[in-house]
Amino acid sequence: MNEPTLARLQQLMTVREEAEGLLGYGETRGFTPAADWLDGGAHLTLLLDVPAVEAQSLEMEEDGDRLTVAGVRTSLPPGAGRLLQSERRAGAFSRTLVFPEPVVPGSGEASLEAGVLRVRFTKLHPTIDAACHELDTEDEKETEGEQR
């Protein structure tokens, strides 16, 4: 699939997950975490917003060109007090993302910091920086020498 098609497919999947969450259908009942993909040349990095989610509740599964991240966000931390008003969604979530580029299977390394899950994958085909640099010619070197 080409990049615009993958991007549109991801948007449609997100809308579907949000609709299912609002209606109470399917696995997605809590919230849909926002996601960003970063291209780091030899690596792809997923950033997934999962505030108030404990690391031990997170699960990840690779399946071909897809990654599924699931977990649970509780509404109140233990000993937080009596809930008077609640606007933050809580509960189980599951988000399936399509890798924007092929990755080496099983290469994901995850960390959770400040409510952001960061998963770094090794790309199957690293991006090469092909910046062009002009080479100095003998004439240019002579001209520079005369100007000094």
pLDDT tens for 25-58 read 544 356 889 999 999 999 999 999 999 899 999 9
Best-predicted range by mean pLDDT among 1-10, 16-25, 127-136?
Answer: 1-10
Is 57 contained in some domain? yes
Measured from the Cβ of residue 66, the count of other Cβ atoms closer than 10 Å reads: 12
What is the predicted pLDDT for the residue at 9?
Answer: 78
Is 135 contained in some domain? no
Q: Which two tokens stand for residue 43?
A: 């690596």
Is 13 contained in some domain? yes
Rg (CA), the chain: 23
Burial class of residue 107, CB neighbours in 10 A (0-12, 13-18, 19+)? middle
What is the predicted pLDDT for the residue at 26?
Answer: 47
What is the predicted pLDDT for the residue at 27?
Answer: 43
Number of structural domains found in the chain = 1
pLDDT tens for 118-142 read 999 999 998 877 666 666 656 555 5
What is the predicted pLDDT for the residue at 63?
Answer: 94
CB of 46 within 8 A of CB of 117?
yes
Is 98 contained in some domain? yes
Q: With 60 as the cut, is the pLDDT of residue 13 above it?
A: yes
Three-state SS for 5?
A: helix
pLDDT tens for 73-89 read 887 767 778 877 777 78
CA angle 111, 113, 117 (to 5 degrees): 55
Is 64 contained in some domain? yes
> DSSP state, 103?
B
Q: Which domain holds residue 24?
A: 3-76+89-128
Q: How many CA atoms lie within 13 A of 59 on its CB side?
A: 7
Domain CATH code at residue 12: 2.60.40.790
What is the predicted pLDDT for the residue at 28?
Answer: 39
What is the predicted pLDDT for the residue at 75?
Answer: 74
Is 144 contained in some domain? no
Measured from the Cβ of residue 110, the count of other Cβ atoms closer than 10 Å reads: 15
What helix, strand, coil percent values describe the chain, rounded to 5?
25, 30, 45
